[in-house]
Each structure stands twice: as C-alpha cells, then as structure tokens.
Amino acid sequence: MTETTGTQTRTRKVAVLGTGIIGAPVARNLRKNFAVSVWNRTHAKAEALAASGGIEVADTPAAAVAGADVIVTVLKDGPAVLEAVEAAAPALAKGAVWVQLSTVGVEAIGELAGFAERHGLVFYDAPVQGTRQPAENGQLVIIASGPTDRREDARQVFDAIGSRTVWIGEESGAASRLKLALNSLVFALTHGTAESLAIARGLGIDPALVVDVVTGGPLDSKYFQLKAAAILAGDYSTSFSVSNSVKDARLVVDAAEEAGVKVDGTAAGLRRFQRALDEGHGDKDMAASYLAG
Ligand SMILES: NC(=O)c1ccc[n+]([C@@H]2O[C@H](COP(=O)([O-])OP(=O)(O)OC[C@H]3O[C@@H](n4cnc5c(N)ncnc54)[C@H](OP(=O)(O)O)[C@@H]3O)[C@@H](O)[C@H]2O)c1
C-alpha cells in the first residue's frame, strides 16, 4: 500500500513481531502490499524470511517498529507480546495501528489494550482461526474487534493474510473471548479423533476402520480427515503445537471458570495435552494427543 504526501509517495510499513508458524507466512503475505520488517526472539528463524526476499530483519523489536504505520504481533502468549511491545516502546509512533493476532486470553488482552492506550496506539484485538496451511495461503479467518475509525488500516492487513474477517464490535477483548470459545471446539475435535483411534487400537481393531466408517457420513469433516490421517501416518509435523495447545486450553479453562461456566471437556483435554507435553511431545502437532500415555 502506498500513500502520497505532497509530491512524495511511500510504501506503508508493517512490522511483524514473531515469525513462528503463523507469523512467518503472515509476514510473507504482507510483503505483497507493504514494506515489511520482522523481529523474532530466535533471530535465525527470521533470517530464513529475509532469504526469501523483500523482508527486512531487525535485531530488536524497537528496530522493527521504527517508522512502522502498523505493528502486527504474532507471539506465543500475553507475557511474550507485552515484553516485545515494551521493548519496542521507544520507537513506536503515536497513532500507529496495532493488530494483535496472538491468542492471549481475557486477562492479557486487557493489559495489552492498556499498553496501547498509554502509548497512543490504535488497538485491534484480532486472533485468527486457521493453521499453518491457511496462513501460508493467505486464508486465515480473522476475528476482529476494535475502533471503527481506523478499520481501513486494519482491513489492509487482514485482506493480505486472510480470506474473511468477522468484525464483532468495538470493544477490544470481545474477539479474544470468541477465540476461546472456538478453541474449545478445536480441542474437542482433536481429542475426540485421537481418542477414538486410540480406543480402536487398544481394543484390537485397526484404527483406520474408524475413518472408513466416518467417511462421507454426518461425523465427517476436513478437520477429522486431516488429524486422523496424521495420526495413522504417525506424522506429527506441527501446524499447532502441543505446547501452545496447553497454553490455549488453560486460557479457556481459566476464562470459563471466571465466568462461572463448567467446562469438563476442555479441562480433561487440558490434562491430556499436559500429559503429552510432559512426555516430550510439546513441539509436535496437537494430533499428538493420540500419543498421550
Ligand atoms: N498455529 C496455529 O494453528 C495457530 C492458530 C491460531 C492461533 N494461533 C496463535 O498464534 C500465536 C502464534 O502461534 P504459532 O503457531 O505461530 O506459534 P509458534 O510457531 O510456536 O511461534 C511462537 C512465536 O512466539 C515466540 N515466543 C515464544 N515465547 C516467547 C517469549 N517468551 N518471548 C519472545 N518471543 C516468544 C517464538 O519465538 P522463537 O522462535 O524464538 O521461539 C515464536 O516467534 C499463538 O498465540 C497461537 O496460540 C496459532
């Protein structure tokens, strides 16, 4: 995106803090429309992006956000995001737009919105639905809440990284709350698939028969097929890690508890993910729920 001031035209700049599974393809998709700078705690991961061209890799969050019109955060959790933006604070431009894509939960989103207010940033709470492949294809679904007056700036980012944006109001925090509800569904589907296959195996039945029976019927879904195929192939290449699943399941359980909602399924699922993590499967895909002993 370019903007013209007087006789000068410049490409607008986006800084992406975090180049993990979602952050890296987000940065790559943004470079079509923006000048992009990135920062990542582990520098080597960000360097891989520079090699693909058109992305400037910064050594610090402050260097990444210097001169940025839009800041995008895609880090693990609330504390990591807060630490990064605090480090970036001296270089943040007042009036810049901050698009916060990480899943941080109810409490942290309030802290981040407070930081934005203190530093004169226009804050969009914008967690995403979709995983590695949709992120790479620019087909994330963005759940967004935030002020109406700068939505055009946020929209330019969302259009580059996603296929759909669901606006759910102006109150920051609303999008993060909806994201928790959605994650509880993702976890139920993942554990349901993993446990069904594990039960079949444990009862001496070929787990592939579960898939055979479900295929084409009302229980079938693209998600079921993907996770079941990964489990049957023993391929746990990560789209969403067990470690991040523990983090997110805990966010759901804590928020539900605070709201007085009993969540037996998500709480049990959290224990299962935690077991998988403790058994050394933290970096594997969440389908490794199947491996939790
Ligand atoms: N993957 C998905 O399917 C998916 C879907 C929807 C939402 N999300 C959310 O999107 C966010 C990113 O997910 P992801 O899958 O891209 O995760 P990821 O691949 O594990 O990447 C996590 C990122 O956070 C950084 N990080 C972790 N702890 C940090 C700390 N203490 N200080 C600074 N940086 C830190 C990592 O840096 P290093 O490289 O140095 O470790 C990396 O850049 C998470 O909030 C996740 O819940 C993910």
Task: Clarify whether residues 187 and 225 are in a common domain.
Answer: yes
Which of 108, 140, 172 marks a domain boundary? 172
Task: Clarify whether residues 52 and 146 are in a common domain.
Answer: yes
Domain of 202, in residue numbers: 177-291
Pocket flag, ligand 1, residue 82 (CB < 6 Å)? no
Task: Clarify whether residues 165 and 199 are in a common domain.
Answer: no
Q: What is the pLDDT at residue 293?
A: 85
Which of 109, 138, 172 marks a domain boundary? 172
Q: What is the pLDDT at residue 23?
A: 98
pLDDT at residue 237 is higher than 80: yes
- Residue 172 in tokens: 């920051």
pLDDT at residue 33 is higher than 80: yes
Q: Whole-model pTM?
A: 0.96
Confidence of residue 54 (pLDDT cuts 50, 70, 90): confident
Task: Clarify whether residues 231 and 146 are in a common domain.
Answer: no
Pocket flag, ligand 1, residue 128 (CB < 6 Å)? yes
When divided into structural domains, the chain yields a total of 2
Task: Clarify whether residues 205 and 95 are in a common domain.
Answer: no
Task: Clarify whether residues 118 and 41 are in a common domain.
Answer: yes
- Percent above pLDDT 70 for the chain: 98
Query: Which ligand 1 atom lies nearest to the CA of residue 131?
Result: 3
Q: What are phi and psi of 159, to 5 degrees?
A: -65, -30
Pocket flag, ligand 1, residue 19 (CB < 6 Å)? yes
Q: What is the pLDDT at residue 218?
A: 98
pLDDT at residue 7 is higher than 70: no
Give how far Cα 274 sits from Cα of 13, 244, 266, 270, Å: 39, 10, 12, 6
Pocket flag, ligand 1, residue 76 (CB < 6 Å)? yes
pLDDT at residue 3 is higher than 90: no
Residue 291 Cα to ligand 1 middle (Å)? 22
To 10 degrees, what angle do helices 78-88 and 105-118 make?
10
Query: Does residue 172 or residue 278 have the better pLDDT?
Result: 278
Task: Clarify whether residues 62 and 189 are in a common domain.
Answer: no
Mean pLDDT, the chain, whole residue set: 96
Q: Whose CA is nearest to atom 30 of ligand 1?
A: 80
Confidence of residue 201 (pLDDT cuts 50, 70, 90): very high
Task: Clarify whether residues 22 and 157 are in a common domain.
Answer: yes
Task: Clarify whether residues 151 and 189 are in a common domain.
Answer: no
Q: What is the mean pLDDT of residues 178-200?
A: 98
Task: Clarify whether residues 90 and 59 are in a common domain.
Answer: yes
> Beta strand pairing status for 35-39 and 128-129?
unpaired
> Beta strand pairing status for 140-144 and 8-11?
unpaired
Confidence of residue 212 (pLDDT cuts 50, 70, 90): very high
Q: What is the mean pLDDT of residues 252-257?
A: 98
Alpha carbons 98 and 109: distance in angstroms, whole number = 12
Residue 218 Cα to ligand 1 middle (Å)? 34
Pocket flag, ligand 1, residue 176 (CB < 6 Å)? no
Alpha carbons 31 and 160: distance in angstroms, whole number = 9
CATH for 192: 1.10.1040.10
DSSP secondary structure, 132-147, as one string: HHHHHTT-EEEEEB--
Q: What is the pLDDT at residue 5?
A: 67
- Percent above pLDDT 90 for the chain: 92
Q: What are phi and psi of 37, to 5 degrees?
A: -120, 150
- Whether the Cβ atoms of residue 33 and residue 8 lie closer than 8 Å to each other: no
Which of 172, 204, 226 marks a domain boundary? 172
Summarised one tens digit per residue, pLDDT across range 130-160 is 999 999 999 999 999 999 999 999 999 999 9
- Residue 143 in tokens: 């759940």
Task: Clarify whether residues 181 and 167 are in a common domain.
Answer: no
- Residue 178 in tokens: 């909806």
Q: What is the mean pLDDT of residues 188-213?
A: 98
CATH for 124: 3.40.50.720
Residue 240 Cα to ligand 1 middle (Å)? 9
Q: Whose CA is nearest to atom 43 of ligand 1?
A: 18
Summarised one tens digit per residue, pLDDT across range 80-119 is 999 999 999 999 999 999 999 999 999 999 999 999 999 9
Task: Clarify whether residues 116 and 15 are in a common domain.
Answer: yes
